[in-house]
Amino acid sequence: MPTYKVLAQSAPSAATATTLYTATNATIVSTLNASNVGGTQDTIRIAVRPAGASLAAQHYIAYGVPLAAGAVFSIQGGLTLANTDVITVYSTTGNTSFSAFGSEGN
């Protein structure tokens, strides 16, 4: 039976794409949250890069999402990752924290 846990947590630098999580085996991300901890609106992006591919337009699962101060954006659909797949996050202001929760396979 899988164990659900915190897979990764990160607060990216302003306007810099940042690796949130790199899968080291089959992984299911059950929830991915973006929480704007700043006092102003932020704009976020989230991408899944298969096998660590260079970041490109087709990898985005959320792009240009406005996030009000104190707001949370959540993806709860269950992202399935293979070994070496990478979740990349971006925050225009650097005020948004990202957290991924799920289970890693064997």
The two structure tokens encoding residue 6? 């915190």
DSSP 36-97: E-SSS-EEEEEEEEGGGPPP-GGGEEEEEEEE-TT-EEEE-S-EEE-TT-EEEEEESSS-EE
Q: What is the pLDDT of residue 1?
A: 56
The pLDDT > 90 percentage for the chain reads: 88
Q: Which residues of the chain have pLDDT under 70?
A: 1-2, 106
Q: What CATH number is given to the structural domain containing 11?
A: 2.60.120
User: Encoding tokens for residue 32?
Assistant: 């991915």
pTM: 0.93
- Give me the domain span that covers residue 66: 5-104
